[in-house]
Each structure stands twice: as structure tokens, then as C-alpha cells.
Structure 1
Amino acid sequence: MPSALPLADPAPSDGALPESVTVGAAERNFGVYLHVPFCRVRCGYCDFNTYTSDELRGAKRTDYAGQAIAEVALARDILDRAGLPSRKASTVFFGGGTPTMLPVTDLTAMLAAVDQTWGLAHGAEVTTEANPDSVDAAYLRSLADAGFTRVSFGMQSAVPHVLATLERTHDPERVPLVVQWARDAGLEVSLDLIYGTPGESLDDWRVSLEHAIAQHPDHLSAYSLIVEDGTKLARQIRRGEVTQPDEDLQADMYELADELLGSAGYGWYEVSNWARESSGDFAEHRSRHNLAYWQGHDWWGIGPGAHSHVGGVRWWNVKHPAAYADRIGAGLSPGAGRETLDDETRRVESVLLGTRIREGLVIAELPASARTAVAGLIGDGLVDGASAVRGSLVLTLRGRLLADAVVRRLLE
């Protein structure tokens, strides 16, 4: 969740949604995202809407769970007034920040509020992000007992000098411990990695991949480091203290990830995400919550800076926890701005997001101009020819590396 909010129309103070959001709602899944905007330290590369203790200015971490629960109640009222059908939450995701900086009782109370308000669908996926040094075995058991099904650990790297550059605080040797504790509690495990850190070699990256694979996670995400304006890392690069990430090296790192993960029984299902095969099925361990974003389903984002999407209306909350607390305390929607997506924007986003996932795009549903580009994309090795014959536009490995270029050609 980037810290800078987009420019758009003001969101109404009562949060009211237009009647258009009801169209097709019964066919869309509903998910809930809960943003916990607290971190022990701010990593130099991070541009997410997070706050350390000395940045809170007028907000208390101890009050946060109650405020989030109040927004859950407000959300239910807004959805009911819009005439949307009652839908249970198929996925719930606690992100941040570091959600597990809060006492486990706060997270379980927030999940209970979601369950009591909308209900959890049968087999609902309930995930929290966590840092390896922010949980112990008892904390993870409490999460599982409360209905959490999945934990996503921010491993990032197994190499100490890479972790130091990223300003991550955990010892890489703690990762096997927390993974085992999570498994003992009955939780599925995902590991998040970052590649392309200044000073990280291809051999360093191989060490991190092999260390991650050795933990046998159910799911693994690998993201290239992006230097965001305004971050400490951007300033360090500008001053020449560290080097700019090398795009060619990052491409080599992505190819290595796909090779090693594929050999270990993981299949890609989104450009940056791989799931472990189980009984011949890669779908079982996919992040269903993140897939809902890519497939255009509905979700309500709770918390400061959180984004929501319902029926083609997208909005985002005020950023700072103190401003969020003030809005919630006054019984007002915390929405800061919103936009209603027009047909052209929906078309562009469907191409932008649909190309990223393994199922790809249905070629027959593309505009004529995009369909005429498919042959050239196959010829350039960016789109899989066999899948195209079957009617789907699916990226090759080279296409995943050049996904933005594929999208541009489809939208020309």
C-alpha cells in the first residue's frame, strides 16, 4: 500500500455508494483487508503507509483495534444502504506495516468482528503478514485457534548483508523456527522475498532462494526491489552511498527464481507469485485474497490509507492514524477520495491485471486491435503459442519479464 494517495473526487462523508455497485454483485466474491500501520522500525526501501512509535503524533496503537472494528460496522451499514446482497467474506487479509506488532488479542478481536458482521465463507482464507521476529509459537497457536489459516512471513533474504541494506531486523536463522511453529499450529505458510537489493549478487540470491525452498513453504512471493521516490534508499542512491539496482541483474534473478522454484515443485500463477503443487494442483495454495484483486472482485479495506473496491467504485482512506481515528470517532467515513471506473478504465485494468496471472486473457474477449497484436507477441516469444491456440493469452517466461511492454502493445 504506497504511502502517497492518488488524486480523485472527494469521498462522501457518509460513505454512500452509487446504485451501480449492485450490478453483478452476486457473481463477485467479497473480501476484507485490514491494514495495521505500525512497524518497529522503518525500512529504508519501504513506501507503505506505516508508522513507528515516534511518528504516530496523536494516535495510540492501543486504540487501533477498536477503531478498525468501528469501521467494520460502518462498512456493513454502507453496503446494506447500497442494496448489495449479503455476502460472507471469502478471504480476510491483515497487512501492514506489521500486524503482529499488535497483541494477538487485538488481531483475533478484529477477525471476530468481521465474522460477526458478514460471516466467513466455508473454507475462508484468513491471512496475516508477520515479521520473523514479531511472533513466537504461542502467538501463532492463538492465531490458528481464532480462525486464521495462513501466515505470510517477510523473509526478504537469507543473506545478512542484504538484510542489513534493507534494514530488516530479524536473524535469518529465525525463519526455520517460525515456519515450524506455524506448521505446528496448523497454519499454511508463505514466504516473501525481495531481489535486486544494492550489493546483492546472483549467488546471494541463490542462497536466499535455496534457504526459502528448504523450508517447504506452501507459497512464495518474489518481488524486485523498486526504489520509490521519497524513501531513505532513494536518498542514499542519489548521494552515491549505494548503487542503483541493476535491471539486467534483476532479470537474471527472476529467471533463477523461476528455474529453482519450478524444479522444487512450485508453479507460477502470477508474475511475482508461486504456489506449491499439491496432488497435481497448483491452485490449492494460491493466495486467493490477492487473486481477488487481480480478478476485479470486491473488497473493503479497513484502516488508515486502506484501499477498497466495490462494483467499479474504488476509494481510499485518510492516511494518518490520527486523522483516521478522528473520522471514526465522529462516526464519519474515513474515505479521503474515490473514483468510479468508466468502461475504458475497466478495459485497461482488465488487460493490465489479466496478463499477470497464469490463466491469462481470453483472446476472443479482447478488442480487435489487441487481437491483431497477438501473432506478433507470439513471434517475439512473449506469449505462449499453444495457449493462444486454445484461446488464452498467457505470458511466457520472457513475457513475464517484459509484461509492461506486452500490455502496451495490447492497448495500442
Structure 2
Amino acid sequence: MSETLALYIHWPFCVSKCPYCDFNSHVRDAVDQDAWRAALIADLRHEAALLPGRTVTSIFFGGGTPSLMPPATVAAVIAEATASWGLADDCEITLEANPNSVEVAAFADLAAAGVNRVSVGVQSFDADVLAFLGRAHSEDEARRAIAVAQEHFPRVSFDLIYARPGQTLAAWEGELSDALGFGTGHLSLYQLTIEPGTRFWALAARGELVIPDGDAAADLFDATQAMTRAAGLPRYEVSNHARRGEESRHNLSYWRYGEYAGVGPGAHGRRLAQATERHRKPENFIAAVTRNGHGLKVESDLPAHERATEAMLMGLRLSEGVDLARIEARCGLGREAFVDAGAATRLARQGLMVADGDRLRVTDAGILLLDSILSEVVKTH
């Protein structure tokens, strides 16, 4: 059986830049679609040459706004991945989409191109909140986008942002109840965070933007867990909820520290015990592909201990936790090199972790303290 691989494709372009977004997204007046299709395929072929004999279990088109990609480009990338590696019979092919009408009109063609899962960036169903978040779609467009997606794709997810300035518990419970009513098998529910370099960061620094404090955010989080569990979509990662079997297989590859190839501007990868990163700026990426046949900016070896640490930091985000024996086998290290057993025992006594043989996981009570738990239990040096 060939070793599996996840494939990430980054489309860097957006119609506008949202004030909370720190992703690698760019606004351009025009995009040379033929040049971009050729560049993405060349970049993919470079990875394929380094990773022969793999089977691709998931492809994820992220961004940016991948729903702005011509469906023909999506189809060409999928065809190239199929020719280069071969896709698993149940390969999950996800594309992130905005709810704008012009992009929703392409859903049928995207499905025909091979996309079988879509993640819709709804963020809110409230017009005032959408304006605050800088979103270019309306509440009606958001609702229609989900309905149309459910017509064309076997699996649909959408995102909401909560813990916004002034948001009450009752208002969020109403909004989440509305969202659960669509019956999708997956929801991504993110608390608003203020990221450095964003417009929201500048507003917060001037005291013009205040998000809920820790206690209020914790109450919102707890309500979220109770409601999603009751609806049959329990949390399987800090911010991601799914019906059993509807978890994002692609993101599970990341969190379980599987190998993945990253293609396109700013894309990161983990393969062959190396960390890879592409040039972020679209023009620099295209120039690199033209010059070198690939868009790589960084390709660095990851020492065994760093790989083990990354696997711990990623895996403990999951409700299932980490398999310590698997990390030992993959990195060639004993667990004492990357786990503070004393801290794990102490945290377990406090009800914040569970240690069960090779399995170590953070409890529901501990998940709100995840950052401090990670700093205690994961040996980073």
C-alpha cells in the first residue's frame, strides 16, 4: 500500500481584504488565468517528482478566495494530481467559497470539476455584523449559498465568527440555532481574534474595538459545545464540529501530523522530514516558478524533536488527542523527549487531561486552557 499524502492548493486572490484577516490574500485588478493555471501545475509537478508513489487522500483549495478560480483551473489541478499520484477512491476534494452570488453561480461547474466538499465563508447572518466584518455578501446571499451548496456537493460546511464586540449569550445561541437548522454535517465556529497587522488590530490598539473578556468568551464557548453536541455535531477540534464521519479529512491530516504538500503562493508543507514554504506575494511566486520550475522559498530539514513537538502541538487540539506511540515511531524518539510526564499526571489529576496508555488528550474542561496546557506538557527543548 502506498503512503498517503494530503495536497493543499493556495489561491491568493480576493475581491477585498477583510479587516480581521491575516491570511495570505491579495486584491488585484486583473489575474492572468492561463499563467496562474500553468504556474500551479508546474509547482504541483515539482512536489510530485519528490514524492513518487503516493496516494492523495485529500485536496484542499484554500485562500484567498478559491471560488474565484475558474472551474477549468480547478479541474486541471485535480487532473494533474490524479496523473501524478492517483487519488484515493474516497478522496475528499474541498474548496473554500464565499457566498457572493457570482461565485455561487459556479457551484455546479465546480462540482463537475471534481469538488465534492465545499466550505462556505458565511461568518454571520446579520447584516450589521457582515458590514462590521467587511464581508461583501448579504444575509440572503449567505442563506442561498448554503442551500445551493447542499444541492451540488455531497458534503457542506460553513464558518461563523462569534465572541464579537457586544455579542450577548442569548444572541449567539439564537444565531447558532439558526445555523444548526441548515443540517450541514460540519461547522467551523471561530471566536473573533485580533491578529497583528490587521485593521482590527489597529482599532483595538486605539481602544476602538473591544472583544468579550475571558469569562464572557468562556460562557459563549460552553454554550457552543452544549448546542452542537445536542445537535449531533460535537467538537472534534478546538473550533470544528462535525457529525460522525463528516470531519474534514484534510484538516485531520494536519492535526494528526500526516505528510502534506503545499502548492501555490505562501503555501506551507510538511514532507520528507522537511518544512516547506512558497513565496507569499503572487508576483514573486510566479517569478520563482518561471525561474526555477517551482515556487519554493523555504525548504528546511526538521530535526526529530521539532517534528515530535509539532505533532504534539497539533494533535492535542483534537478531541481524540495524540497517539504517543505513533509519534515515537515516526520521529524515532522516546516520549520522554517530548512529553513532560509529571505535568501530564498533574493535569490529569486536575481533570484537564486524560492519559490512557499511549493516548493523551485534553478534556472539555481543559480545552479553554489549551495554550497553557501545551506549554506545560510539551517539551520544546
Normalised TM-score (structure 2): 0.90
Determine whether 1:40 maps to 2:15.
yes
| Residue of structure 1 in register with 2:331 after alignment | none
**Matched length:** 370
Contact 2:42–2:294 (CA under 8 A) maintained in structure 1: no
Q: Which moved more, 1:223-232 or 1:38-47?
A: 223-232
Structure 2 matches for 1:149-298, cutoff 5 A?
A: 149-276=116-243, 282=244, 284-298=245-259
Contact 2:158–2:186 (CA under 8 A) maintained in structure 1: yes
Structure 2 matches for 1:97-136, cutoff 5 A?
A: 97-133=64-100
Show structure 1 runs of 4+ deviating over 3 A. 59-62, 134-138, 362-366, 388-391
Structure 2, unaligned stretches of length 5 or more?
329-334
Deviation, 1:136, is 5.7
Question: What is the rounded CA distance, in whole Å, between the counterparts of 2:107 and 2:344 in structure 1?
Answer: 47
| Residue of structure 2 in register with 1:76 after alignment | 48
Task: Give the CA RMSD over aligned residues.
Answer: 2.2
1:288-325 CA distance string (max 9 Å, x none)? 10111111211111111111110220110111111111
Query: Aligned AA for 2:336?
Result: P
| Residue of structure 1 in register with 2:294 after alignment | 333
Query: Aligned AA for 1:304?
Result: P
Question: What is the rounded CA distance, in whole Å, between the counterparts of 2:25 and 2:104 in structure 1?
Answer: 25
Tell me: CA distance 1:46–1:136, structure 2 relative to 1, closer, same or farther (3 Å).
Answer: closer
Question: What is the rounded CA distance, in whole Å, between the counterparts of 1:65 and 1:330 in structure 2?
Answer: 16
Tell me: CA distance 1:235–1:137, structure 2 relative to 1, closer, same or farther (3 Å).
Answer: closer
Contact 1:157–1:172 (CA under 8 A) maintained in structure 2: yes
1:48-102 CA distance string (max 9 Å, x none)? 1111125x8xx6455322211121222223x1xxxx4411211000000110112
| Residue of structure 2 in register with 1:5 after alignment | none
Query: Aligned AA for 2:71?
Result: V
Contact 2:165–2:210 (CA under 8 A) maintained in structure 1: yes
Determine whether 1:379 maps to 2:349.
yes
Query: Aligned AA for 1:147?
Result: G
Tell me: CA distance 1:390–1:297, structure 2 relative to 1, closer, same or farther (3 Å).
Answer: closer
| Residue of structure 1 in register with 2:304 after alignment | 343
Structure 1, unaligned stretches of length 5 or more?
1-25, 277-281
| Residue of structure 2 in register with 1:367 after alignment | 336
Tell me: CA distance 1:377–1:215, structure 2 relative to 1, closer, same or farther (3 Å).
Answer: same
Contact 1:136–1:181 (CA under 8 A) maintained in structure 2: no
Higher RCO structure, 1 or 2 (CA under 8 Å, sep 6+): 1
Structure 2 matches for 1:380-395, cutoff 5 A?
A: 380-384=350-354, 388-389=355-356, 392-395=359-362
Question: What is the rounded CA distance, in whole Å, between the counterparts of 2:299 and 2:369 in structure 1?
Answer: 31
Task: State the identity %.
Answer: 35
Question: What is the rounded CA distance, in whole Å, between the counterparts of 2:87 and 2:34 in structure 1?
Answer: 26
| Residue of structure 1 in register with 2:332 after alignment | none
Q: Give secondary structure in 1 for the equivalent of 2:9.
A: strand
Query: Aligned AA for 1:163?
Result: L
Question: What is the rounded CA distance, in whole Å, between the counterparts of 1:363 and 1:106 in structure 2?
Answer: 40
Question: What is the rounded CA distance, in whole Å, between the counterparts of 2:74 and 2:21 in structure 1?
Answer: 23
